[in-house]
A and B are shown apart, each in its own frame.
Chain A
């Protein structure tokens, strides 16, 4: 899957066990890729003494707060961003 900056993406909604670096509160939420940080060994594998290969592409994804929390009380343009690996993202 080729994702790039500006793409609208959805975070996978799964809840697998293990050393997952995708915060629970963002699963299933839609946001926009705002940065591409490059390729990193997969921490979900590294945590268990594996090689973490193939490497995963890490993106900074920005979410509108009101899309994450339906009852958000801050500003309409407030956002929350998180670093998310490509295997957790799908085109929205």
Chain B
């Protein structure tokens, strides 16, 4: 991705008026300072401990793209599982031993085909299927990706090395609210003989966001 080329918004970058305007580096430093001040005050007041904070961050970082890859590989090898994954994603993911918990946002699985290529973004912040993929990569949170992928998806995908044929429909999905989107890519050609665990190694984080295809066997 190129650097922070500021996108031409048609309204003012004034956070007092628009809490979703792009965040500048200077503002980011201010927010970090604000976060630290509030956190330290709350620890001082005994609302929670520093160890509580550490544990929450630790838990959030436990999931990795390998967990999502396991789910995708299962869907590639078991058509009945794939059907359940699309129709009742939460239950299907829990079948594999992942506890998504009642408070977690809802999961939606977007199945790619020869005709349709899905790519996911959160233009408002950084909503991401963390329950399955862990924390999002920095580029996913960058202003450049968020502003540009809804505006010029094919151009952004090209920068990821992903060329989408002109007769394929590119569907950008902006996760603005209570749903989290996971892309189910097509099983790569030439992977017919691979077993589930070999297949899962072809499933990269980026292909589950839709910015690339799975690796070739």
Residue positions of A touching B, CB distance < 8 A: 15, 17-25, 37, 40, 43, 58, 60, 62, 65, 68-69, 72-75, 77-85
Determine whether the beta carbon of A79 is less than 8 Å from that of B178.
no
With A37-B106, A74-B153 known to touch, is A84 a contact of B172 (CB < 8 Å)? no
Measured CB to CB, the closest approach of chain A to B22, in angstroms, equals: 11
State the majority secondary structure of interface residues on B.
loop
Count residues on chain B whose CB falls below 8 Å from chain A CBs.
Answer: 29
Determine whether the beta carbon of B154 is less than 8 Å from that of A21.
no
Q: List chain A residues, Cβ under 8 A from B106.
A: 37
Determine whether the beta carbon of A75 is less than 8 Å from that of B168.
yes
Nearest chain B residue, comparing its CB with the CB of A82? B174
B123: Cβ under 8 A from any A Cβ:
yes
The 8 A CB mask of B100-132 against A (1 = contact, 0 = none) is 000000100000000000000001100000000
Nearest chain A residue, comparing its CB with the CB of B157? A74
Determine whether the beta carbon of B173 is less than 8 Å from that of A40.
no
Determine whether the beta carbon of B11 is less than 8 Å from that of A24.
yes
B179: Cβ under 8 A from any A Cβ:
yes
Q: List chain B residues, Cβ under 8 A from A18.
A: 19
